[in-house]
Structures are given as structure tokens and as C-alpha cells.
Amino acid sequence: MLYRQRTLNLPHGNLETPVLLPVRNVGKRSSDNTPEYAGTIPDLSTAIVNARSIYQRDPMWERLLDGVTLREEMGVPDNTIVFADSGGFDFQNDAPDVAPKEMLAVQKQLNADIYGTIDIPLLRENRDAENQRRIRQNIEYALDASSAHDGKGLLLASVHGFDPATIRNSIRHLERNGEFDGYALGSLALIRTDYRKTTKLILAARRATDKHLHVYGLGGIVYQPLLLYLGVDSFDSSAFIRAAGNRNYLIPGFGGEELQNIDHLEYLPCPCPICGTRTLDEIRENRDLLTKHNLWSIVAELRRFRYVFAAGKDIEAYLDLRFQGNEVTQRAYRIAKQQMRRLV
């Protein structure tokens, strides 16, 4: 097992890892914005934002230039740790319209604690030549950002690849030619159902560097225990928002369940502050409540894992039990465990 705990000294305070960074859709023109959770979940003073979306939202960007802070705009405490992602998925079909140095200036204006370098996600289709071009381009963007970075805040180089050798070689090249505080794996959400490939890529990154390792887009209730087991230090998730949009209720230890399948219950099975005093009908009628519950469920997974580790219990035995009730997640964990044991 590669699970580890560290403390990051960041501009807005110390951050204990491993840690979840919920997606905050501030700046996005979307009805799926994140409900307020700051102050209601005490160990969740983190967020990941799309820096490009904020930069291109003129009224918001003008307020930020005029002295309003991002945290004021978000309505969160000043000590909230913010990861400013470049918004790579905005560039899935188009070339980036922001240069690495310009993006760094944006991230600094946001007063972020963690910066992700500009990146272009890979294509899921068999387009090897185009994907190789994107991999090389992402490395160049990361090195350009390294040259312009002043050392304030954590700079994570975004790394992409669909085979372990590409991940290893990319990280080693970046280590030799740039200065980074860690690495962030992208494009994995595109292959999230291929657990064997995904776990191989994460293990390749973890073994290539001892620095901070972030995984983009896989911090949901199913993947989170696997990420912790594989030694990932941070991860972000919008799964709690997307699940609520589909009226999907996340249950710690089980996964997701559509509300229509449990409509015979008056009260839901979770005792979190959202569900503990509300009926199923109340939560069904308010998507914000469902979204907040789903976030509590993801946080509960992390808390349980931390407890098992702190209590000195057998983590593999815990995960055997944790995944017992779901064939898909059980198979995913079995694959991860087999790959881990080949490393020792």
C-alpha cells in the first residue's frame, strides 16, 4: 500500500494530505453551480476552480482586478485553500487561447495556493499521432510555466498519457528540465471505466516521483479509496454535483442509488447533517440538498480511510470489506491490489 500523509505549507495555511478539492463552478455559465459547503463541513476548506472561466467572465474578472478577492467572490473564508486549474477540458477541441505565462498571471491574480499548468486533454479515439502531439505540447506548456514561476504557491505540471511508459518518461523529462512541486495526471476521466489501465497509469506516476501527486476528475465515491490506496495526495471531484443532477444519491460504502429506487423510504439511510432531520421527499425536491449530501458522502469515505490508518488496522482487509457489496468496485480493487503486489 502506498497511502501516505503529508502537510503542505501553502500561502493560505497548512494543508493536510491526502485531500479532496471539490469543484467550484465559479465563473462558469452553468446552472450546476456548487452549493455553499464552507463552514458546514469542518475539514473541507478546499476548492478547485477553472482559472480560464473566471478570466473570461468579464464582470467577475473586472471585480477581481478592482480589489475584490476570489474568496470574497466565492463566499468562503480567507483561509480556504484554492487550486487554480487552467481549465484543460475547455481545450478539448480547440487550441488553448491563453499562454502559459499569461495563465500564471491569472492564477496569481486569483491568489491561488496551487497552480495547474495549461494542458490539452487526450482524445479517447485511436488517434495516436494527435495524442502524441498533445502530450509533447503539454510538456512544453509545463516547462514554459516553470520558467515563468516565481516560486510562490505550488506549481503542478499537468501530465497526460495512456500508457505507463509515457507517464514515467514525461515526469522524468519534466524533473530534469523544469522545477515543479508535483504533478497532476489528466485525461484519466476519459478511461475511468478501464480500471486496469487507470491504476497502472497512477502507479507509474507514483513510482516516477515522490513529489505531490494530484489526479484530475476521479475523486468520486467509487474511485477515492483506490486513489488513497495507490498513494495519490490530492484529487478533485464534481461527481457530487453531476450525481445530484441525475437524482443519484451517494451512499458511503455502497456507491450511488437513484432516488426513484428507494422512494418507499421516508428517511434516507445517511445520518449526515443534510439527511438526519429531513425526509426523502424534502431532499428529492431540492437539488442543492442532494448535492450537499453527496459531498458529505465523499468526505465520509476519506474520513473512514484516515481512521483505519490512524487506528493501525489492516487497510487491505478494510477495502476487501468496503468493496464487497459492489461487483464493479470489487473487481477494480482486486486489479489495483494485484498490481501493487507485483511491485514488492
Q: How far apart are CA 335 and CA 333, in angstroms?
A: 5
Q: How far apart are CA 7 and CA 9, in angstroms?
A: 7
Q: Assess whether pLDDT exceeds 90 at residue 88.
A: no
Q: How far apart are CA 2 and CA 21, in angstroms?
A: 20
Residue 22 and residue 240 in contact, taking contact as beta carbons nearer than 8 Å: yes
Report the pLDDT averaged over residues 128-144: 95
Q: Please report which confidence band the pLDDT of residue 148 belongs to, taking 50, 70 and 90 as the band edges.
A: very high
Q: Assess whether pLDDT exceeds 60 at residue 28.
A: no
pLDDT at residue 336, as a whole number: 82
DSSP letter, residue 88: G
Give 58: exposed, middle or buried? Use CB within 10 Å, 0-12, 13-18, 19+. Answer: exposed
Summarize pLDDT for 301-314 with one digit per residue, the tens.
899 999 999 999 99
pLDDT at residue 328, as a whole number: 75
Per-residue b or e along 276-312, where b marks 16 or more CB atoms closer than 10 Å to that residue's CB:
eebebeebbeebebbbbbbbbbbbbbbeebbebbeee
Residue 183 and residue 157 in contact, taking contact as beta carbons nearer than 8 Å: yes
Residue 80 and residue 12 in contact, taking contact as beta carbons nearer than 8 Å: yes
pLDDT at residue 229, as a whole number: 94
Q: How far apart are CA 27 and CA 62, in angstroms?
A: 12
pLDDT at residue 168, as a whole number: 97
Q: Which of 23-37, 146-160, 182-196, 273-287 has the lowest mean pLDDT?
A: 23-37
Domain segments of the chain: what residues?
1-344
Write down the architecture of domain 1-344 according to CATH. Answer: Alpha-Beta Barrel (3.20)
Task: Give the side-chain half-sphere CA count within 13 A for 314.
Answer: 4
pLDDT at residue 31, as a whole number: 44
Residue 214 and residue 234 in contact, taking contact as beta carbons nearer than 8 Å: yes
Q: Assess whether pLDDT exceeds 60 at residue 42.
A: yes
pLDDT at residue 344, as a whole number: 52
213: helix, coil or strand? strand
pLDDT at residue 93, as a whole number: 65
Summarize pLDDT for 190-246 with one digit per residue, the tens.
999 898 899 999 999 999 999 999 999 998 888 899 999 999 999 998 889 888 888
Pairwise pLDDT comparison (238 vs 146), residue with the higher score: 146
Q: Which three cell numbers stand for residue 52?
A: 480560464
Q: Assess whether pLDDT exceeds 80 at residue 250.
A: yes
Q: Please report which confidence band the pLDDT of residue 97 belongs to, taking 50, 70 and 90 as the band edges.
A: confident
Report the pLDDT averaged over residues 250-257: 81
Q: Assess whether pLDDT exceeds 70 at residue 32.
A: no
Task: Tell how strand 212-215 and strand 182-185 pair up.
Answer: parallel
Q: Which residue stretches of 252-314 are H helix?
A: 280-284, 287-310
Comparing C-alpha atoms, which of 302, 301, 296, 307 is closest to residue 41? Answer: 296
Q: How big is the chain, counted in residues?
A: 344
Q: Which residues pair with 6 in a beta bridge?
A: 17
Q: What percent of the chain has pLDDT over 70?
A: 94
Q: What percent of the chain has pLDDT over 90?
A: 62
- Give me the chain's average pLDDT, please: 89
Comparing C-alpha atoms, which of 273, 240, 271, 247 is closest to residue 261? Answer: 247
